[in-house]
Amino acid sequence: MDAETLIVGCKYGDVRGYRDGSVYTWKGVPYAAPTSGDLRFRAPEPPEPWTDVLDARRFGPIAPQGRNNPIPIDPGLTIGEDCLSLNIWAPEPDGEPRPVMVWIHGGAYVLGYSGQRIYDGRLLAERGDVVVVTVNYRLGALGFLDFSSLSTAGTTFESNVGLRDQIAALEWVRDCISAFGGDPDRVTVFGESSGGGSLTTLMTVPRAEGLFHRAIAQSPPATSAYGSERAARVAERFLEILDLTPARVWALRDMPHETLTDAGDVLVGEIPTKFPGTLAMAPVVDRDLVPKYPVAAFQKGLAHRIPLIIGSNKDEPSIFRFMKSPLMPVSDASVQAMLDALAEDHPELPPDRIAEIISAYPDVTKTSGAMALSRDAGFRMPVVWIADAHSAHSPTWVYRFDHATPMLKAARIGAGHATELPYVFGNFGTLDRDPTFWLGGRKAATTISGRIQRRWLAFAHHGVPAALDGSRHWAPYDTDKRMTLLIDNTDTLVPDPDKVLREVWGDQVMGFS
């Protein structure tokens, strides 16, 4: 072994890592067995131990996902069903256990992968003296379609296998991360979009309790979790797309994964178009792994009692409008359809309550008003509901990311969905043609990124997001003051910035039992 490599022995075998700056990285480490064949649509199994040294130079295969992918796949990476691997960045182990930060990527539960350049963990590991882990998990039809209602005596389907993958990865971290210098008793899970939604769901899953000790949920679509009956209807529609009858559901096990992702692409476009404000694939309240709707579980005090940072971005829907994506309703017609569906699904909501919400957005017939209502229904109000509930018993901090570079402002994207990601990881310019700084703003962005990283890292170390660099103190959130950190060129701590809208929405509009 030379100074450029480092072999670590873990529970399943030896793993060779490689120097990356001042830290080492191990890529493509399997945390579960391959999930093809009999394990397709089933909970993950532990990996088989290996005898030779596992060379961890390259990322493992990424989870099967649609062909019309807005997330570019980096050269050299492949798509494959044997995708349950993770990546580690860590200072050289020296006997002093370091905090661990486990990243769950987003992508509407159907896209993304842990090896995206924007998620490279080297800078966080170097700057924060932490161990960073990024995780692949099953996506789309293979991870977040629930076929359990179609199980037969000869073919068993399990629910929420994508969430079960994430739990398996956290169990691997619990059992193995100490060999890489990590402290299994100081694990912070952080994630964005569907990664944040996975996290708010995992915080209500009994089986996940104790696997992580702090949480950072960035723009979580926390209300995008659906009941078993709805999941069964979506699964039946998926079979129709494939020209399969329920009697031939077993054929799903033998189909090429490309066939399944192609059919999934149809659903991904179809469901939110027919039912605006909903996703085709998402966690399912199966009363087994996920016992209750996550927001309702928080409101009943059933979430894990751990410190939480949670927040959203000022202009969440703008990127969906820019990309012409149906994943968020951004027109007056689609927003009205979303509210009509809400009233139909919840007859206990009187029409005057829906009318009151609409009246709070005087420009709702224009794009700007429709997008504001969509933003609040999908992200901002769920953040408030969770923070209100969680802060009753556990330390909670709330933020709103408001910063946008001059180019993003000019493009009318602003602080859109996912625009905070390069600030968290410190990785700017990871897209081949990144327009972010075409009109300047890099110096300010770098400064803001440093502040965010110091807060996130302090939270991982101490459970309190104190920046310790003269930045504004971030007071915890409670229902008396609802102090919220607005992140921009200058951080501003504001009491209850969404007071008027919060009072109009109430705390039960999107609640489920």
10-residue averages of pLDDT along the chain (513 residues): 85 97 98 93 97 97 87 87 97 96 98 96 98 98 96 92 98 98 98 98 98 98 95 97 94 95 95 93 97 96 98 96 90 88 73 86 87 94 97 98 96 96 94 85 96 97 83 90 97 95 79 45
Q: Which residues are catalytic?
A: 193, 316, 417
Residue 29 phi, psi (nearest 5):
-80, 120
Instruction: Please name every residue paired with 86 in a beta bridge, in sequence order, or none if there are none.
Output: 29, 135
- Residue 498's closest CA among 488, 484, 510, 477? 484
SS3 assignment, position 342: helix
Between CA 109 and CA 461 the distance in angstroms is 29
What type of residue is 106? G
Q: Which residue has the tokens 């539960």?
A: 109
Distances (CA, A) of 316 to 219, 417, 434, 485, 505: 8, 4, 19, 17, 18
Those residues with Cβ within 8 angstroms of residue 42's Cβ, 6 or more apart along the chain or in another chain: 35, 156, 157, 158, 161
Helix (H) or strand (E) holding 399: strand 396-401
Q: What's the Cα-to-Cα distance from 221 to each of 41, 127, 143, 146, 504, rounded to whole Å?
A: 24, 30, 17, 19, 20
pLDDT of residue 1: 43
For residue 85, the model assigns a pLDDT of 98
Alpha-helix residue ranges (DSSP H) falling in 360-463? 367-375, 381-390, 406-410, 421-425, 442-462
Give burial (CB, 10 Å; 0-12/13-18/19+) of 310.
buried
Contacts (Cβ under 8 Å, ≥6 apart) of 1 = 7
pTM higher than 0.85: yes
56: which 2 tokens? 């961890």
The CA angle 315-220-399, to the nearest 5 degrees, is: 60
Torsion of Cα atoms, 31 then 37 then 42 then 44, to 10°: -10
Provide the 10 A C-beta neighbour count for residue 377: 22
Q: What is the pLDDT of residue 355?
A: 86
Q: What is the pLDDT of residue 512?
A: 46
pLDDT on residue 310: 98
Q: What is the pLDDT of residue 470?
A: 64
What the chain holds in terms of domains, given with CATH numbers, is 5-505 (3.40.50.1820)
Q: Distance (Å, rounded) from C-alpha 263 to C-alpha 266? A: 5
- DSSP-assigned letters across all residues of 219-286: S--TT--EEHHHHHHHHHHHHHHTT--GGGGGGGGTS-HHHHHHHHHHHHHHHHHHSTT--SS--EE-
DSSP state letters, 163-205: HHHHHHHHHHHHHHGGGGTEEEEEEEEEEETHHHHHHHHHTT-
Question: CA dihedral in degrees (68, 74, 75, 77; nearest 10)?
Answer: -90
Instruction: Determine contact, residues 74/8, Cβ cutoff 8 Å.
Output: no
